[in-house]
Amino acid sequence: MLKMFLITGAGGFSGSGLRYLSQRMISHYFPVSFPFGTLFVNIAGSFHIGLLFALTDKTRILTPDMRMFLAIGFCGGFTTFSSFALDGYGLLKDSAYLYFTTYVFSNIILCILAVIAGIWLIKSL
């Protein structure tokens, strides 16, 4: 139990750190009120977890510890539903209803498509 806790925590630490850096970089290049940084990390994390799911389904290349580190820890720390919700609230507070609608549907649809793309990529290899 403690081992899995530490493995998952290390993955979460890594994912959260990379999320911070990714969001900062994207905000630097896209300095607009639309939350592109959160959208990017959610799509990238969804693609990554799709890859991991398909890879573990197709092969035994990842140990259970690595799956915990990558899927629950890293992807869980990298993607962020709470930031998604806070960004959505900020758009609503600013009466940016078109941005809000675009943001919500983009996250839902593009993240599901990213999972499907990750699974498809691994299964096509």
Closest among 71, 78, 80, 17 to 49, alpha carbons compared = 71
Query: 0.75 cut: is pTM over it?
Result: yes
Q: What confidence tens digit (pLDDT) does each residue in 22-39 have? A: 999 999 999 998 999 999
Q: What is the pLDDT of residue 59?
A: 87
- Which whole number is the average pLDDT over 54-66? 89
> What is the predicted pLDDT for the residue at 47?
97
Instruction: Name the residue with tokens 């806070």.
Output: 86
d(CA 107, CA 13): 23
Q: Do 23 and 38 contact (CB within 8 A), yes or no?
A: yes
pLDDT classification of 50: cutoffs 50, 70, 90: very high
Q: How many CA atoms lie within 13 A of 106 on its CB side?
A: 19
**Residue 108 pLDDT more than 90?**
yes
pLDDT band at 83; cut points 50, 70, 90: confident
pLDDT for the residue numbered 80: 81
How many structural domains compose the chain?
Answer: 1
> 35 in helix, strand or coil?
coil
Domain containing 43 equals 2-124
Work out the mean pLDDT of the chain and round it to a whole number.
95
